[in-house]
Amino acid sequence: MKKRFKWDSQYVGWGVTSAAVIMASIVFYMLTSKWAAIHEVLQKFYRGLSPIVYGLVFAYLLNKVMAFFESSLLRPLCARLRPRSPERARRLTRILGVILTMALFLSLLGGSLALILPRLYSSAESLVARMPGYYRVAEGWVTSVLDENPELETAAVTLLGYVTDNLTGWIQDGLLAQANNIITNITSGVFGLLREIANIGIGIVFSVYMLYHKEKFAARGKKLLYCIFSPRFTNKLIRGLHFTDKVCGSFVVAKLIDSSIVGVACYIFMAIFKMPYAMLISVIVGVTNVIPFFGPFVGGIPSAVILLLENPADSLVFVVFIVVIQQIDGNILYPALQGSKTGMSGFWILFAILLFGVLFGFTGFLFGVPVFALIYAAVGGFVRSRLAQRGLPAHTDEYDGIAYIDAATREPVPFSSERDGDARDN
């Protein structure tokens, strides 16, 4: 009598696993060998969906602003205007909230572009025009200081010339070239510029629709998740999304507002003291302030050097201002804006900035801390869950100063002179 084949045998499992590994390897090889074509397809796909991407970004960033308007101003007002119809009061609250939010957004966007771009370009152009004079002044300083050491003087002058040439080249070929490219696109690539403006406009319209129906979109998303996954997994996924929004949302929004305040404060300060290149330096300080930890140094040092070449007294006053404003920003302003912590120590924050900054550049500097905070929280949750399943302590403090954990009682055993010799790794 033939033995009946069992589909649930371990051999079937091994075969399925082997087939899955082979198929995954084939897919990985195809992806890596055809990556150029795949990347081109993804770029086309992104360009086609760019209005939706703009809309999602705008809606996410403006959602907290609209929620503030609704909770603090519009909801009580509309309740008084429509006391007998709560549904009409709710709709009126949402309509007015969207209108106020978009009016504020468009006013800030248009006003910032109209005020900043012309002055930014003129400041950069003036800096390039004065760069040879700055070089002669710096060369004179070096010559007067190092007059008694010709070899050191020659090396210092050569280094100064190298730095000046590279800085001038960056401003001309980088900063001003980008501005010239924009002008060139306006004159020769009108269609591409109009298409991008149209995408942004469609994205703004899409963000209005997202803001007005945000509860409905959230409900549909939850409905789809519960349809695909199990309730237990979906609950964990929703909690993870809430945590992601709490960490990333508060971090990014707080950083943008915080950097805008720092940039505006820098411009006001420089305008009061009539320092040169106020707009250019304020934009540099504001943009680099987005970078955690290193931002003040990245923006402050080159700005101080620019002012030093123009007027050493202005440079000294500017350095004092940067130190003071960063102390206020780091200890008062940014903690008040963020409202929640990442849950990581300073070591891990620095590690995240360096790691993601090297891998992804400026985007990594900006998003490295919140992304690593999510990874940090996920790993911590997994470790705590595994330790709880094994009946072991879950808090880090409980492992401080212990020799080992008793395999029978699952209790931490502290270091002691009597038991150090008998401590064993169980």
DSSP 320-332: HHHHHHHHHIIII
Residue partners of 8: CB distance under 8 A and separation at least 6: none
Instruction: At 23, list the tokens.
Output: 């198929």
Q: In angstroms, rounded to a whole number, what is the distance separating the alpha carbons of residues 385 and 373?
A: 18
| 162 pLDDT above the threshold of 60 | yes
pLDDT tens digits along 249-264:
777 777 878 888 888 8
pLDDT tens digits along 115-153:
666 766 776 677 677 777 766 766 666 666 666 666 666
| 230 pLDDT above the threshold of 80 | yes
- Residue 417: per-residue pLDDT: 41
Helices (H), 146-189: 150-170, 177-188
With CA atoms as reference, report the closest residue to 294 among 250, 358, 374, 373.
358
CA–CA–CA angle 181, 185, 189 (5° rounding): 150
Sequence-ordered strand ranges (E) for 168-253: none
| 339 pLDDT above the threshold of 60 | no
- Residue 96: per-residue pLDDT: 92
Residues recorded for the chain: 426
DSSP 47-95: HHHHHHHHHHHHHHHHHHHHHHHIIIIIHHHHHHHSTT-HHHHHHHHHH
Beta bridge partners of 405: 412
Higher pLDDT, 65 or 161: 65
- Residue 100: per-residue pLDDT: 92
Higher pLDDT, 266 or 411: 266
- Residue 424: per-residue pLDDT: 47
**Out of 45-59, 150-164, 319-333, 376-390, least confident range:** 150-164
Cβ contacts of 407-414, under 8 Å, gap ≥ 24 = none
Helix (H) or strand (E) holding 382: helix 362-389
Helix axis angle for 190-212 and 35-69, nearest 10°, is 50
- Rank 75-79, 129-133, 164-168 by mean pLDDT and report only the highest: 75-79
Contact by Cβ (8 Å): 279, 368: no
Give 181's pLDDT tier (boundaries 50, 70, 90): low
pTM: 0.59
Mean of all residue pLDDT scores within the chain: 76
Amino acid found at 27: V
Sign of CA dihedral 257, 259, 260, 265: positive
| 29 pLDDT above the threshold of 50 | yes
| 66 pLDDT above the threshold of 80 | yes
| 355 pLDDT above the threshold of 60 | yes
**Phi, psi values for residue 414, rounded to 5°:** -75, 165
Query: What percentage of residues in the chain have a pLDDT greater than 70?
Result: 72
Contact by Cβ (8 Å): 366, 255: yes
- Rank 77-86, 191-200, 411-420 by mean pLDDT and report only the highest: 77-86
Give 192's pLDDT tier (boundaries 50, 70, 90): low
Q: In angstroms, rounded to a whole number, what is the distance separating the alpha carbons of residues 82 and 92?
A: 9
| 209 pLDDT above the threshold of 60 | yes
- Residue 73: per-residue pLDDT: 86
Amino acid found at 410: R
Contact by Cβ (8 Å): 200, 109: no
Residue partners of 92: CB distance under 8 A and separation at least 6: 74, 78, 81, 82
| Residue 369 burial (CB count, 10 A) | 27
Q: In angstroms, rounded to a whole number, what is the distance separating the alpha carbons of residues 128 and 301?
A: 18
| 294 pLDDT above the threshold of 50 | yes
| 2 pLDDT above the threshold of 80 | no
In this prediction, residues 177-182 reach a mean pLDDT of 57
Query: What percentage of residues in the chain have a pLDDT greater than 90?
Result: 5
- Rank 8-17, 91-100, 395-404 by mean pLDDT and report only the highest: 91-100
Place of tokens 């998303």: 221
Q: In angstroms, rounded to a whole number, what is the distance separating the alpha carbons of residues 93 and 163?
A: 57
